[in-house]
Amino acid sequence: MSTLTRLATAAMMAAGLSLGAGATGALASSGDGPHLKQPNWSFNGLFGGYDEAQLRRGWEVYSGVCKSCHPLDYMHYRNLEQIGYTADEVKEIAASFDVPDGPDEWGEMYTRPATPMDPIAHPYENDAIAKLANGGVVPPNLSVMARARDGGADYIYSLLLGYADEVPEYVLEADPNFSLPPGKSFNHYFPGHAISMPQQLFEGILEYSDGSTPSAEQMALDVTSFLQWAAEPELEDRKALGRYTLLFLIVLTGLLYAYKREIWKDAH
């Protein structure tokens, strides 16, 4: 394979990787349900990036709805400055949560207001308490959920909006004996359809600070985008590097082609 061909191949591979970095698939969650919903995410595609206003709304949904059960184990309050909050705003947000600390001079543990340097406060002291509060199930850490699940952001968005009051016909046709265990809710997109988490997003459950209408669909979009950012805060930098690399390879390919033409112009 010639040098020119190898460089062209590398350029195409770089373009493909960059384009695929933010893409999410249209996979069905359990094989017998509807395909995942696919919103037009701002972070998809080669030139995609995060919408800071949407990320801040997503934080409001997480802190107002999701945080009561789900931790963000790999995030600190200071990270919120990356989505447009000022240092003073982050201090105020952090101080509204209490975190464990100690021991003090008497050997006792205590709580104090969080600071920007603290990890996002965990909703439970330990997994045993989390299980007791959630029917024997420990709510998963959401820090990397957008990367950990097949379908990524599409899966999270679909799951949040995928609840049904009754078991649909397609499930009963596939399994006439299907029934929801006690304490479970039906979800079109959750594997097995029986999910421990009840529906969480209802219109009017919170108010956005920017005045946006908090419909269930809007809250699902916003919190999913926030969780995508939590899982991939470096996405925009990585895509920018990919674009620069692709441009460099294109220019280099052109220069090498011109160099080859110059060397071989008198060969025949």
Handedness of CA 138, 142, 147, 153 (dihedral sign): positive
d(CA 46, CA 44) in angstroms, rounded, equals 7
User: Model confidence over 97-147: pLDDT tens digits?
Assistant: 999 998 888 999 999 999 999 999 999 999 999 999 998 999 999 999 999
Same domain, 268 and 249: yes
Same domain, 150 and 252: no
d(CA 267, CA 97) in angstroms, rounded, equals 76
Point out the annotated binding site for heme c: 66, 69-70, 197
pLDDT surpassing 90 at residue 267: no
Same domain, 184 and 261: no
User: Model confidence over 198-241: pLDDT tens digits?
Assistant: 999 999 899 999 999 999 999 999 999 999 999 999 998 888 89
Name the domain count of the chain. 2
Q: How far apart are the first and last CA of the chain?
A: 22
Parallel, antiparallel, or unpaired: how do β-strands 110-113 and 98-101 relate?
A: antiparallel
Give me the domain span that covers residue 254: 1-22+236-268
Written as one letter, the residue type at 224 is T
pLDDT surpassing 50 at residue 15: no
Three-class secondary structure of residue 164 per DSSP: strand
User: Cα angle at 151 between 202 and 48, to 5 degrees?
Assistant: 90
Q: Looking at residue 261, what is its pLDDT?
A: 87
pLDDT surpassing 90 at residue 3: no
Same domain, 143 and 221: yes
Structure tokens at 149: 């699940």
Confidence class for position 22, pLDDT limits 50, 70, 90: very low
Point out the annotated binding site: 66, 69-70, 197
Same domain, 149 and 263: no
pLDDT surpassing 50 at residue 179: yes
Q: What is the CATH number of the domain that holds 172?
A: 1.10.760.10
pLDDT surpassing 80 at residue 6: no
Three-class secondary structure of residue 186 per DSSP: strand
Same domain, 214 and 144: yes
